[in-house]
């Protein structure tokens, strides 16, 4: 016989989202301002170039963009994480004729852990 404990709650968090902190990185100094729109388009181009239209349909939400450090935080569905991750690490593009990549700095299921870094 089990005793009901009103103060005890069986809590199962459902982690539907994954948060990624990403930097646009280049060997050379980028002398142009990279806007949030450029950041969004770089991610979309990565998805489309690797996985075609199916990859471009992945849900990605840019939550934060720091134009001084070229870093941003995005929100991705957990089910699409491997697609987005693999597209970003294999995609190369150019900004002002300088080769760039999307560097994934950190990943977490909780947004607060990325904001504090």
**CATH no. for residue 57?**
3.30.70.3250
5 belongs to a structural domain: no
63 belongs to a structural domain: yes
Q: Which two tokens mark 90?
A: 């294999």
Please give the helix or strand (H or E) that residue 45 lies within, else none: helix 36-56
100 belongs to a structural domain: yes
Q: How far apart are CA 60 and CA 75, in angstroms?
A: 6
pLDDT value of residue 48: 94
> Are the beta carbons of 23 and 70 closer than 8 angstroms?
yes
Q: How far apart are CA 74 and CA 113, in angstroms?
A: 13
pLDDT value of residue 20: 96
pLDDT confidence band for 23 (50 / 70 / 90): very high
Residue 43's domain comprises 17-115
Averaged pLDDT, 40-68:
92
Q: Which two tokens mark 19?
A: 């948060």
Domain count of the chain? Answer: 1
3 belongs to a structural domain: no
pTM of the complete model: 0.81
pLDDT value of residue 8: 61
97 belongs to a structural domain: yes
């Amino acid at each position: 016989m089990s005793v009901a404990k009103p103060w005890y709650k069986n809590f199962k968090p459902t982690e539907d989202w994954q948060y990624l902190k990403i930097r646009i990185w280049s060997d050379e100094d980028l002398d142009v301002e990279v806007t949030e729109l450029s950041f969004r388009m770089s991610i979309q181009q990565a998805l489309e170039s690797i996985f075609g239209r199916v990859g471009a349909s992945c849900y990605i939400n840019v939550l934060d963009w720091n134009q001084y450090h070229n870093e941003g935080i995005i929100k991705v569905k957990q089910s699409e994480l491997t697609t987005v991750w693999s597209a970003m690490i294999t995609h190369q593009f150019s900004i002002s004729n300088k080769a760039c990549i999307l560097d994934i700095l950190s990943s977490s299921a909780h947004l607060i852990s990325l904001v504090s870094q």
